[in-house]
Structure 1
């Protein structure tokens, strides 16, 4: 017998006949008419080249071939019902799986603390892996399933094939060591450009502010370039360097080292922080739960700063 010729609906009829031993009771159990059930039984007999069920008194008794097939057919029908036909779902409380999230180091300190607090109570066995990749590799990671979600500023993912959800808008702040006497509360543009700057390029990326300044023809005196925002914790204290960073970074660094904020001599650009996922994950129950969690924890109203 060629499997392509097997109608799975017939296996449902077979399973019901094996349990009820009656065409009428089988028809009632599976919601078919009596003639349709009789026709299905005829097709089963033809496909298996066996009578399968024969009348004996008031019942249809199985043949030896039907008795042999019955346990296997039951397993197939139960598997289809339990594992294939059930709607996709995800139970956070009992789930034991790992999710990879694309984010820069700013995301690790800004987005993850609140998420981890929620996981402890709602999904204690779920693990998260924060992944940092170059800009050109982010899309490939989401498309290949190497990451389930990207959270942060990813303008390259604003294209066909991706969904996005806004979390909040933020901007840039200029910070310096609180003991940096060379940096006042405000600077002229000339003073700002001439100051000694630390510039952070996560994963070698040019940041949004770099393009903003370049478009205006303004060039800063860059003393140090870094790959990680968190290195500012060690490099700003005791130095005469300044750094213009996203507001969340200024907030996090300021919680650990004494800082002063310098009023910028221009209106900085706004950053739209979002989460992104590939379209093939749009209807995945686990991904839907994950992005819902990130949204609930990290969404902010306009002007709100990073919570404790």
Structure 2
């Protein structure tokens, strides 16, 4: 017998008839007319080459072949009902799994601290793996299922095939060591461009501020280039360097070293911070829970900042 010739609906009919022992009751249970049920029973008999059920004075009695098939068919039907047709479910309290989050180092220090206490309370067996990827590599990782969520500034993911959800809007600040006496609280554009800048350019990631300045034709005096924002903790103190960084970085760095903010001589661009996921994961219960958690913890109202 070729498996392609088996109609799974006939197995449901067989299982129901095995319990009901009546064509009428079977028809009512599976929502078919009596004639349609009788026709299905005929196809079932033809498929297995056996009468399967024989009418007696009181009910339909199974043949030996039907009795042999009954437990196997019951198992198949139960498996389909419980494991295939059952709505998917994710229980964070019982889950033992890892999620991969794509975010730059700014995201690791801004987004994860608020998430960890929630995981400890609500999903103690869940582990997070934070990775930094270039924009093109982020799209590839989400598409292939190598990452579950991208959180941060990923304008290249604003395209077909990806869902997005806004978390907050931020901007840039200019900071320097609190003891830097070479610059004041305000600078002209000429003074800003001539100052000694430390610029952070994480590998493979283009920055909105860079494009903004290039578009204006403004060239800064870049003394030092870094790949990681957190290196500012060691490199700003005791120097005359200034750094123009996202607000969250200014807040986090200011938690550890004394800083002074310098008013920018121009209005900086706005950063749209969002979370992204591939459309394959749109209805996945685990991914839905994960992005819901990140949204609840990291969403901010307009103008709100990361807590200092």
How high is the TM-score relative to the length of structure 1? 0.95
Which residue is equivalent to 1:292? 292
Q: Once the 2 structures are TM-superposed, how far is the Cα of residue 30 of structure 1 from its aligned partner?
A: 2.5
Q: Is 1:90 matched up with 2:74?
A: no
Structure 2 counterpart of 1:42: 42
| Cα displacement string for residues 218-259 of structure 1 (whole angstroms, at most 9, x for unaligned residues) | 111111111111111111112221111000000001011111
Within 5 Å, which residues of 2 pair with 1:245-260?
245-260=245-260
SS at match of 1:129: strand
Separation (CA, whole Å) in 1 of partners of 2:153 and 2:28 = 58
Distance 1:33 1:217 in 2: 78
Give distance in 2, aligned partners of 1:3 and 1:105.
Answer: 53
Does the aligned pair in 1 maintain the 2:164–2:276 contact within 8 Å?
A: yes
User: How far is the alpha carbon of 1:15 from its aligned partner?
Assistant: 0.8
Contact in 2 for aligned 1:149/1:277 (Cα 8 Å):
yes
Q: Partners in 2 of 1:235 and 1:116 — Cα distance?
A: 29
Unaligned runs of 5+ in 2: none
Cα displacement (A) at 1:97 = 2.0
SS at match of 1:71: helix
Cα deviation, residue 56, structure 1: 4.2
**Stretch deviating more after TM superposition (20-29 or 136-145):** 20-29
Note the C-alpha offset of 1:89: 2.8
What's the offset of the Cα at 1:25? 3.0
CA deviation after TM superposition for structure 1 residue 102, in Å: 0.8
The residue aligned with 1:158 is 158
State the alpha-carbon separation in 1 of the partners of residues 246 and 298 from structure 2: 16
Compute the displacement of 1:42 (Å).
Answer: 1.6
SS at the partner of 1:203?
Answer: coil
Does the 8 Å contact 1:204/1:227 carry over to 2?
Answer: no
Give 5+ residue unaligned stretches, structure 1: none
The residue aligned with 2:7 is 7
CA deviations on 1:285-306 (whole Å, 9 max, x unpaired) are 2222221221111111111011
| Conserved? CA contact 1:101–1:129, under 8 Å | yes
What aligned pairs does 1:1-308 form with structure 2 within 5 A after superposition? Answer: 1-307=1-307
Contact preservation (8 Å) 2:135, 2:157: no
Q: After superposition, give the CA deviation of every residue in 1:84-115 in whole Å (9 maximum; x if it has no partner).
A: 11223322222222211110000011111112
Conserved? CA contact 2:186–2:265, under 8 Å: yes
Q: Which one is further off, 79-88 or 104-113?
A: 79-88
RMSD: 1.6
Residue deviations 1:35-61, cap 9 Å, x none?
A: 332222221111100111223442322
Give the length in aligned residue pairs: 308
TM-score normalised by length of structure 2: 0.95
